[in-house]
């Protein structure tokens, strides 16, 4: 038996105001573009979340539970849904209530904390678990890191937190001659199971589906089912991982993506040796066939599948270092509102918008960037951080208390106090 596992990532960031210029620093503490965030969420909900959730619910009922999927929904996205689209949360709740939908764990803020602050990484995971339990009465057992960023140290930490599995990119440079169509175990781990994305089949849906220059266009569900069935005898799992916004937003309804997904379960299940399963069920059903080492971080972004979508150029690195250097003073102040703001400024999208790779060529980084250029994103972000730093400085001085610890003030970690 070969199991097909669909995992969908649901995420929307809190976007910053594009008019937050230098002259607002010190006078205007409202950083987010509420109108844009509400409008974009409603647009994506109308094009993707509402119709696709209904489609999945119908297919689950049609196939009497044989069709199964999984989701990870970032905490910042859930916040926006609670504020502007509560009916979308209700539609996800109906899916979970079928017993055929698994919810995965992740960082609440869709952040890069795993690379900069293990302490805050763990805290954000706990926040996300609490939100999932609150909204869905569900306890996740499988973890996915932001953008599927994974390396050996992350695996060790996640295993220590008690998770049974983690999902990652099936990068060729890690797999070598091995296939992503089996379960593995991270090299330093003893209990944690590693589920790897089959990026070729996943990207056929997520990226190539509406590409008229693609030799397989137009992709029919029967054709895709045949490709999946070719794995028979050469793999136990086929992990199809993608952004949920693929459906209706990245691949428009006019492309036929909804019709494709409506007929795909029947095409897959037509083969008696194939079934659908969630990550938790894969772990129950199969055993890892070996260990894999990830000495360097791997992600699911771009052809490079590394960190260069978020880190690597000077403006990304400087911005990320600047926000994470504030951890000490933010936590020492103990203000929940400031802590929430600091963590929202960690959301990976802010650094993605500063990516300069191939930007001039009209690639995906330009398509998903609300700014005119990565440099505009950098300026706005750092204007906001400058104001945030001033707020922290004023609050700290107002305390009129000595710095905790050995006498070194957390203010020394703030860029403008050095």
- Average pLDDT rounded to a whole number, residues 135-154: 98
Report DSSP state, residue 47. I
Query: Which string of DSSP letters, residue by residue, matches 332-373?
Result: HHT-HHHHHHHHHTTBHHHHHTT--TTGGGT-HHHHT--SSS
Say if residue 46 is in the same domain as residue 171. Answer: yes
Say if residue 242 is in the same domain as residue 318. Answer: no
Residue 399 is predicted with a pLDDT of: 79
Question: How far from each other are the two terminal CA atoms of the chain, in whole angstroms?
Answer: 61
Given a contact cutoff of 8 angstroms between Cβ atoms, the answer to whether 374 and 353 are in contact is: yes
Given a contact cutoff of 8 angstroms between Cβ atoms, the answer to whether 127 and 155 are in contact is: no
123-131: long-range contacts (C-beta < 8 A, 24 or more apart)? 124/75, 124/343, 125/161, 127/75, 128/74, 128/75, 129/105, 131/75, 131/78
Which two tokens mark 91? 């539609």
Say if residue 63 is in the same domain as residue 183. Answer: yes
Q: Judge whether residue 45 has pLDDT over 90.
A: yes
Number of independent structural domains in the chain: 2
- Average pLDDT rounded to a whole number, residues 13-17: 97
pLDDT classification of 360: cutoffs 50, 70, 90: very low
Residue 410 is predicted with a pLDDT of: 58
Residue 300 forms part of a structural domain? no
- What are the beta bridge partners of residue 276? 4
Q: Judge whether residue 362 has pLDDT over 50.
A: no
pLDDT tens by residue, 238-291: 999 999 999 999 999 999 999 999 999 999 999 999 999 999 999 999 999 999
Residue 309 forms part of a structural domain? no
Please state, rounded to an integer, the average pLDDT across all residues of the chain.
Answer: 94
pLDDT tens by residue, 69-103: 999 999 999 999 999 999 999 999 999 999 999 99
Residue 50 neighbours by CB under 8 Å, 6+ apart: 87, 88, 91
Other CB atoms within 10 A of residue 396 CB: 19
Q: How far is CA 113 from the centre of its chain?
A: 13
Q: How far is CA 68 from the centre of its chain?
A: 20
Integer Cα distance of 228 and 4 in angstroms: 8
Domain of 186, in residue numbers: 2-292
Say if residue 373 is in the same domain as residue 283. Answer: no
Helix, strand, or coil (residue 316):
helix
Residue 305 forms part of a structural domain? no
Say if residue 131 is in the same domain as residue 58. Answer: yes
CA distances from 211 to 52, 239, 256, 364 (A): 21, 22, 12, 14
Tokens 């203000």, located at residue: 335
Q: What is the percent of the chain with per-residue pLDDT over 70, rounded to a whole number?
A: 93
Give the CA dihedral 103, 16, 298, 45, nearest 10 degrees: 40
Q: Which of 147, 169, 245, 389 is catalytic?
A: 147
Q: Judge whether residue 230 has pLDDT over 90.
A: yes
- Average pLDDT rounded to a whole number, residues 307-319: 96
CB half-sphere exposure, 4, CA atoms < 13 A:
28
Q: What is the percent of the chain with per-residue pLDDT over 90, rounded to a whole number?
A: 90
Phi, psi (rounded to 5 degrees) for 388: -65, -40
Residue 107 forms part of a structural domain? yes
Residue 6 forms part of a structural domain? yes
- Average pLDDT rounded to a whole number, residues 312-329: 97
Say if residue 267 is in the same domain as residue 340. Answer: no
Say if residue 194 is in the same domain as residue 286. Answer: yes
Say if residue 286 is in the same domain as residue 336. Answer: no
pLDDT tens by residue, 172-212: 999 999 999 999 999 999 999 999 999 999 999 999 999 99
Q: Judge whether residue 416 has pLDDT over 60.
A: no
Residue 232 forms part of a structural domain? yes
Integer Cα distance of 46 and 65 in angstroms: 26
Given a contact cutoff of 8 angstroms between Cβ atoms, the answer to whether 352 and 368 are in contact is: yes
Residue 367 is predicted with a pLDDT of: 54
Residue 357 is predicted with a pLDDT of: 83
| 134 labelled catalytic | no
């Amino acid at each position: 038996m070969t199991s097909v596992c669909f995992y969908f990532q649901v995420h929307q960031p809190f976007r910053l105001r594009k008019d937050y210029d230098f002259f607002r620093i010190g006078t205007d503490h409202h950083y987010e573009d509420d109108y844009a965030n509400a409008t974009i969420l409603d647009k994506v909900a109308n094009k993707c979340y509402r119709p696709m959730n209904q489609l999945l619910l119908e297919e689950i009922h049609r196939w009497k539970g044989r069709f199964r999927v999984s989701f990870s929904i970032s905490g910042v996205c859930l916040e926006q849904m609670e504020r502007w689209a509560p009916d979308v949360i209700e539609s996800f709740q109906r899916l979970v209530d079928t017993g055929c939908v698994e919810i995965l764990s992740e960082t609440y803020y869709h952040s890069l904390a795993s690379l900069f602050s293990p302490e805050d990484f763990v805290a954000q995971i706990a926040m996300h678990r609490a939100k999932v339990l609150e909204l869905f009465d569900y306890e996740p057992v499988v973890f996915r890191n932001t953008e599927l960023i994974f390396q050996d140290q992350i695996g060790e930490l996640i295993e220590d937190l008690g998770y049974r599995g983690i999902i990652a990119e099936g990068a060729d440079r890690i797999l070598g001659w091995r296939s992503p169509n089996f379960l593995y175990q991270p090299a330093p781990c003893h209990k944690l199971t590693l589920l790897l994305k089959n990026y070729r089949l996943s990207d056929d849906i997520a990226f190539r589906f509406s590409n008229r220059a693609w030799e397989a266009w137009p992709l029919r569900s029967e054709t895709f089912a045949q490709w999946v069935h070719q794995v028979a005898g050469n793999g136990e799992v086929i992990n199809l991982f993608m952004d949920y916004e693929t459906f209706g937003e990245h691949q428009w309804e006019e492309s036929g993506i909804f019709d494709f997904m409506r007929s795909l379960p029947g095409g897959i299940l037509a083969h008696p040796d194939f079934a659908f399963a969630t990550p938790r069920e894969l772990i129950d059903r199969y055993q890892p066939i070996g260990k894999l080492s990830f000495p360097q971080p791997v992600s699911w972004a771009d052809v490079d599948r590394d960190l260069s979508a978020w880190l690597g150029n000077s403006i990304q690195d400087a911005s990320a270092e600047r926000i994470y250097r504030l951890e000490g003073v933010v936590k020492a102040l103990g203000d929940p509102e400031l802590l929430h703001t600091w963590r929202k400024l960690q959301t990976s999208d802010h650094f993605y918008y500063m990516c300069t790779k191939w930007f001039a060529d009209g690639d995906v980084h330009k398509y998903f960037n609300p700014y005119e250029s990565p440099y505009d994103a950098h300026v706005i972000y750092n204007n906001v951080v400058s104001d945030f730093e001033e707020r922290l400085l004023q609050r700290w001085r107002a305390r009129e208390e000595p710095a905790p610890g050995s006498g070194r003030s957390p203010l020394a970690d703030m860029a403008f106090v050095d």
